[in-house]
Structure 1
Amino acid sequence: MSSKSSRFTQLCAFFLLVLLALVWSIKGDLSFSIIRLPEWDDFSPPAAVEQAGLAPRLNTSWHKQIALEMGKDKTNLTAVETPHGTLDRTRVALLMENRPLPYLVPLLIHFMSVVPPEWSFRFMGSEESLALMESNPTIRRYITQKKLFIDMIPYDIVENINSYDTVNHLLTRPWLYEEWLWPAKWLFLFQDDSMICSASKLTLNDFVDEDWSFIGGSAYSTTVPNGVNGGFSLRKIPHLIQALRTRSFEEFVADGDAASEDHYFSMSMWDLPGTKMPIGTEAIRFGVVIHYDPDPNEMPLGFHPYSSDGLFRGREGQANQDKAYAYCPELGIISLGRWDSAAAKRASPCSWARGMNLYGIAAIPWFPSEVLKLATATAKLAVKKLRTSQTLRHDDHNMFFNTFVLAVTLVATAAAQVQFLGVAIAGGDFGCQIDGSCPTGSTQLPLGSNGGGGDGPGQMQHWTSLSKPLNLFRLPISWQFLANNQLTGNLDSNNLGKYDKLVQSCLSTGAHCMIDIHNFARWNGGIIGQGGPTDDQFVALWTQLATKYADQDRMVFELMNEPHDLDINLWAATCQKVVTAIRGAGATSQMILLPGTNFDSAATLVSSGSTAALMNITNPDGTTDNLLLDIHKYLDEDNSGTHKTCTTDNVDAFTTVADFLRQTGRKGIVSETGASSDSTCFTDFCSQNSFINQNSDVFMGLVGWGAGSFDTSYILSLTPSKQNNQLVDNQLMQQCVIAKWVATAGSATSAAAAPPASASQVTVTSRPIVMTTVSPTQAPATGVPTSLGDTTYTMTMSMVTGTAGGDGEGEGLLTASGSPTPISTQQPSSEVGGLETASGSPNATGKISSPSGSGVVTASGAEESARSSVWMTMLVMTVGLVFTCNLCF
């Protein structure tokens, strides 16, 4: 290596260390863990991703529809509405996949965006792949709109045949076409390694109009009948049924023909009357499988690049690969692991990174620590090969480089989390009606015994003592209480003093504290500035509050709770006067929330004209600094927050608001949202909050409703209960609010499981979990009762024994699952003292000591972390970068 190259390598390594150290310093409360992965002689990142059960999301900002659907579009694009109402049930697209592959969701969304809109879609998979699909709000929306149907592959088929035979078996069953797909006449079948190119001038309907019986990837011959590849194919269902009735698949195989469904159908149809089959020159217009030599005048509809050796073959392979990427950048979605063998050896060392560079924004939420799993396994293989004097192959260098690209991209985007998270400490608003009447006799200030309400100060202390403290509390109060029912413009010093005690208890925690005037833009029925209280009276209210708290930078001024049924332009003019007065009173650094009409609902903020009117409000100097859109939204049928059942995850509503804020360069805070603890709400509420986190570039914060003086029996209660002199959060608060905050943004538990059948709450203690197991290679499946706090779980133990590694070490996997939240451990079967991670309910992590043979697996209690392993990770990533720099630069 030259001295120049050496210096550059050192600079690369130093840059990586600085980057990771910076991320660690900014997000130093993250719990990084290293989980031991099995060693493969021929290790590849795709295998590691699948083995680790990771599911990252693609950064597909270059693709309009995916970017819009995922809510991550950074450009001023207009949302594309798919006309689901024009679906043609005779045309159906089908994807079958048992594995929860990382890119399944973006892949399916891409296909749904480029296939003609009248086509419906079906997904058929395993319990794991279905769970992956259902965890995504965009996919759930398509299911609700009946654009997409999902089904589980029958267990008897999955259990008795392998994955390849599963496809062949299913696609040759007459009932699939006569019953399950009925009334479909056209079937478009695609696989996880196929791709339609959005730049194509052709569509599926063009080939339907040409009336092909079965057209797929390029045939092996250009002039004579031969098999058509079915992994990316269009099929005419009446002709499929005709082939099945003429000679069954089993008879076809028994006659000595190849046991693949696509070969069976394509060869059978050549012999059937009335069918139309393509030769190679015709099929290549539909899809390219092998021998890709692009014709610029007739590019294909798509690709099925299951074989890198075939697709980019010969001396021109790299040039053709470049042309394919230029024409069809969507290939990057499926390129992970596709072109990392023979084709990669012919390519430049860094070319494979183009596919990996698409990784980044988390669609299926994931921990940065999952990146570390992959990085750790990568470096472990490198050390192992160097230790055994093995030569690092070209593919190894590709692997290290792309692991680095993946890790840096994901770590860089790991901060996708709202800046502020908290809870409403309600009680000062009790009795307020939507007409603005707020009888002060109903007020229950949450000051414990001093205010006649709940223990708000204790609750705030509880939430600010978490490993990552909540940092925003909303303190609702009525105008009537502050003014002692006198609309004179002056506040009552006695009542203001009582409210100030709540404010000061909030400020003492170090959190931001939000004043919320909870009057619905009214006073006893009259609309502010529109026939009710005058603008001057409203300005006087806020001038006095701003003067009192001008020196408190952590105060937040929410001008009004949920205005409704008013002239939005007049209301915006009123708010402008208040903003000017607040800044004039010396409160120049505080955030001010600007609420819209229709109860400030995210679903109508844009359509009602609220955003357009409110975003014209400025500070006295003409800037809009710290002027934020106020946003509310509930999940029940009428957005009232009064029903037990949830009917939406609000992703559509928040997507519209997020798009507006991005286009205008503004931000907002979701200052009120909540759900019940009904089983229908857990998934939707968690998904909503994950979506808000994922769009933290425009949503600065989220406040859950509510606690304070609310009893734990309140339908939307987030109030912690008191058990053994400790405050304990309910499951909804734990899973859908705190877990989005204490855990890394976009954690793997975003689409939370339903609550336990029992309504009792789970107490988290530091009590160790101790399990004694038999020799790992002999471990039977057995139930082990285990106590965690006040709850006992039965964990099912099972052992999967892996193959021996290159140095003679064997691998095994021990798993334990329980209810309501799985408790899982991983351990090697023949190594002593490995560093592992165990997770328990709800947040238990720690080290596991795992000697070979009989032993004791001990997981330390809740919320312990293996933070120090981040330094190991930094070393690991540096090793990867050194290999990269040596080869690529």
Structure 2
Amino acid sequence: MPSPFRRPRRAQGRTVAALCRWRCRHGRAPDLFRRGRQRACRLSQRLADDDPGRRPQLHASRGRAPPARCLAQDRRAVRSLILALALVAAMPAGAETCLRGVNLSGAEFGDLPGKVDTDYTYPSEQAIQRLGKLGMSAVRLPFRWERLQPQLNGSLEIMELAYLDQTVRRIEEAGLVAIIDLHNYGYYAKKQLGSAELPAAALADVWGKLAQHYRDRPKLVFSLMNEPYDINSADWAKIQNTAIAAIRKAGAKQLLLVTGTAFGGAHSWTSDLPVGNNGRDLLGVVDPLDRYAYDFHQYLDADYSGRAPECSAAAGALKGIDDVTAWLKTHGRRGFLGEFAASNRPECLTALRQMVTKLDASPQQWLGWAAWGAGAWWPADYVFNLDPTPAGERPQMKVLLERFKAKRPTAVCGREAKP
């Protein structure tokens, strides 16, 4: 979700050289929805119609560059098959439930440091219980690194950790799997991960401490970082490996979600981009337990940014899901679609239904998905709002409810399996 940078012009159909002119604003000025609840009206449909550039989903343009050369030779294909079989065999019986649910926003909102229930909020028990009763199995919970660890390499902040603990407990009591998501885009207080100011060890430190704190909660899923966007893909793989090593050293055995750079878009996963090639370089992710999946995000609007109600790029988005499914199958990996959304326009609801149907049709490749976006602080007319209206569930949620009730088993998460 929202990233504080200037949106470049749409790059779809351009050459790699043209993509290299992609410019981001590194000043990291606070984006609209991080200014507290009192300004939430800025995210409304009314302003979207007047100024599409002011949507809260401030992702970069995600054009498709020419695909990279296929890396798999016959020998590597055999190795991938062996790896896939070993990965499934290594998973304990019933290691995960099928992860189908929504993102539950609030804790990632507002200026830093912010005041809880004024600038940002954690979801209420009632909101969580409602989601559990709808038949879903997972909730992705975004939160901010700077609030949880106010000083780099320092202790976790007691009250913020208590809020996170309480929310995780409520999610589990509702019969759901909590996916805790470090929603920071590869930054901490305007410092970029991988720089001298913010080395990979900093991410390893916070996740090592979270892993030690939560290692006895096996149902929890750790999502290492939301949508890093301007970090080289090979460097990003190494940074995540450092965090994974710290998590496993702490004795935590939870399922991990790793992502690619360039926002982790499915549509550009195997493309050569200015920041590298995720499909090539993210194969370098290493987990001693082989208990991880790749977190992809995919929106339907013209530049795949998720800040407009139209869905003119639905065909490209659906092709991106197909391409990633093939990539996962080829390399014996697993995926999770951590963000996607649609407005209530009929053609967008059709694309939404097609997307989740594709995911559920490839259970050996996809652990599941989490749609954007639920949360009490979203304006009533926010185009991706999944909270109910006085008249009942929104059209988007009705589409998802069809899938929540279709409990299909998968290779590593089945109907009877409990994490």
User: TM-score w.r.t. structure 1 length?
Assistant: 0.33
**Residue 285 of structure 2 is aligned to residue 617 of structure 1:** yes
Q: Which residue of 2 aligns with 1:471?
A: 137
Q: Provide the C-alpha distance between the structure 1 equivalents of 2:196 and 2:343, rounded to a whole number of angstroms.
A: 37
Q: Which residue of 1 aligns with 2:112?
A: 439
Q: 2:153·2:205 contact (CA, 8 Å) conserved in 1?
A: no
**Residue 332 of structure 2 is aligned to residue 669 of structure 1:** no
Q: Which residue of 2 aligns with 1:427?
A: 106
Q: 1:564·1:598 contact (CA, 8 Å) conserved in 2?
A: yes
- CA drift at 1:680: 3.3
Q: Which residue of 2 aligns with 1:539?
A: 204
Match of 2:232 among 557, 560, 567: 567
Q: Which residue of 2 aligns with 1:498?
A: 163
Q: 2:137·2:175 contact (CA, 8 Å) conserved in 1?
A: yes
Q: Provide the C-alpha distance between the structure 1 equivalents of 2:380 and 2:222, rounded to a whole number of angstroms.
A: 28
Q: Which residue of 2 aligns with 1:262?
A: none
Question: How has the CA–CA distance of structure 1 residues 714 and 689 changed in structure 2, closer, same or farther, with 3 Å as cutoff?
Answer: same
Q: What CA deviation, in whole Å up to 9, does each residue of 1:270-303 have, x standing for no partner? A: xxxxxxxxxxxxxxxxxxxxxxxxxxxxxxxxxx
Instruction: Report the 3-state secondary structure (helix = DSSP H, G, I; strand = E; otherwise coil) of the residue aligned with 2:169.
Output: helix
Q: Which residue of 2 aligns with 1:508?
A: 173
Q: Provide the C-alpha distance between the structure 1 equivalents of 2:330 and 2:287, rounded to a whole number of angstroms.
A: 20
Match of 1:458 among 126, 133, 158: 126
Q: For this pair of structures, how many residues does the alignment match?
A: 306
**Residue 308 of structure 2 is aligned to residue 635 of structure 1:** no
Q: Which residue of 2 aligns with 1:292?
A: none
Q: Which residue of 2 aligns with 1:730?
A: 394
Q: 1:597·1:605 contact (CA, 8 Å) conserved in 2?
A: no
Instruction: Report the 3-state secondary structure (helix = DSSP H, G, I; strand = E; otherwise coil) of the residue aligned with 1:441.
Output: coil
**Residue 358 of structure 2 is aligned to residue 691 of structure 1:** yes
The code of the aligned residue for 1:528 comes to L
Q: Provide the C-alpha distance between the structure 1 equivalents of 2:186 and 2:293, rounded to a whole number of angstroms.
A: 18
Question: How has the CA–CA distance of structure 1 residues 422 and 551 changed in structure 2, closer, same or farther, with 3 Å as cutoff?
Answer: same
Question: How has the CA–CA distance of structure 1 residues 672 and 442 changed in structure 2, closer, same or farther, with 3 Å as cutoff?
Answer: farther
Match of 2:369 among 702, 705, 710: 702
Q: Provide the C-alpha distance between the structure 2 equivalents of 1:452 and 1:567, rounded to a whole number of angstroms.
A: 31
- CA drift at 1:605: 1.7
Q: Provide the C-alpha distance between the structure 1 equivalents of 2:219 and 2:396, rounded to a whole number of angstroms.
A: 27
Question: How has the CA–CA distance of structure 1 residues 526 and 454 changed in structure 2, closer, same or farther, with 3 Å as cutoff?
Answer: closer
The code of the aligned residue for 2:244 comes to V
Instruction: Report the 3-state secondary structure (helix = DSSP H, G, I; strand = E; otherwise coil) of the residue aligned with 1:670.
Output: strand
Question: How has the CA–CA distance of structure 1 residues 566 and 555 changed in structure 2, closer, same or farther, with 3 Å as cutoff?
Answer: same
Q: 2:179·2:223 contact (CA, 8 Å) conserved in 1?
A: yes
Q: Which residue of 1 aligns with 2:322?
A: 655
Which structure shows the higher strand fraction? 1
**Equivalent residues in 2 for 1:292-307, closer than 5 Å:** none
Question: How has the CA–CA distance of structure 1 residues 617 and 536 changed in structure 2, closer, same or farther, with 3 Å as cutoff?
Answer: same
Q: Provide the C-alpha distance between the structure 2 equivalents of 1:679 and 1:442, rounded to a whole number of angstroms.
A: 39
Q: What CA deviation, in whole Å up to 9, does each residue of 1:468-500 have, x standing for no partner? A: x2111011001111123x334322112111222
- CA drift at 1:525: 2.6
Instruction: Report the 3-state secondary structure (helix = DSSP H, G, I; strand = E; otherwise coil) of the residue aligned with 1:681.
Output: helix
Q: What CA deviation, in whole Å up to 9, does each residue of 1:188-232 have, x standing for no partner? A: xxxxxxxxxxxxxxxxxxxxxxxxxxxxxxxxxxxxxxxxxxxxx
Segments of 4+ moved more than 6 angstroms = none
Instruction: Report the 3-state secondary structure (helix = DSSP H, G, I; strand = E; otherwise coil) of the residue aligned with 1:615.
Output: helix
Q: Provide the C-alpha distance between the structure 2 equivalents of 1:744 and 1:514, rounded to a whole number of angstroms.
A: 19
Instruction: Report the 3-state secondary structure (helix = DSSP H, G, I; strand = E; otherwise coil) of the residue aligned with 1:515.
Output: strand
- CA drift at 1:699: 1.0
- CA drift at 1:740: 1.6
- CA drift at 1:660: 0.7
Q: Which has the higher contact order (CA 8 A, sep 6+)?
A: 2
Match of 1:558 among 223, 226, 230: 223
The code of the aligned residue for 1:474 comes to R
Match of 1:599 among 258, 263, 276: 263
Q: 2:106·2:120 contact (CA, 8 Å) conserved in 1?
A: no
Q: What CA deviation, in whole Å up to 9, does each residue of 1:731-780 have, x standing for no partner? A: 11112x111221466xxxxxxxxxxxxxxxxxxxxxxxxxxxxxxxxxxx
The code of the aligned residue for 1:470 comes to M
Q: Provide the C-alpha distance between the structure 2 equivalents of 1:660 and 1:513, rounded to a whole number of angstroms.
A: 27
Structure possessing the higher radius of gyration over alpha carbons:
1
- CA drift at 1:722: 5.3
Q: Provide the C-alpha distance between the structure 2 equivalents of 1:532 and 1:560, rounded to a whole number of angstroms.
A: 18
Q: 1:490·1:540 contact (CA, 8 Å) conserved in 2?
A: no
Instruction: Report the 3-state secondary structure (helix = DSSP H, G, I; strand = E; otherwise coil) of the residue aligned with 2:302.
Output: coil
Q: Provide the C-alpha distance between the structure 1 equivalents of 2:201 and 2:406, rounded to a whole number of angstroms.
A: 46
Q: Provide the C-alpha distance between the structure 1 equivalents of 2:162 and 2:251, rounded to a whole number of angstroms.
A: 21
Q: Provide the C-alpha distance between the structure 1 equivalents of 2:351 and 2:159, rounded to a whole number of angstroms.
A: 43
Q: Which residue of 1 aligns with 2:58?
A: none
Q: Provide the C-alpha distance between the structure 2 equivalents of 1:441 and 1:540, rounded to a whole number of angstroms.
A: 23
Instruction: Report the 3-state secondary structure (helix = DSSP H, G, I; strand = E; otherwise coil) of the residue aligned with 1:671.
Output: strand
Q: What CA deviation, in whole Å up to 9, does each residue of 1:13-63 have, x standing for no partner? A: xxxxxxxxxxxxxxxxxxxxxxxxxxxxxxxxxxxxxxxxxxxxxxxxxxx
- CA drift at 1:443: 6.0
Q: 2:153·2:206 contact (CA, 8 Å) conserved in 1?
A: no
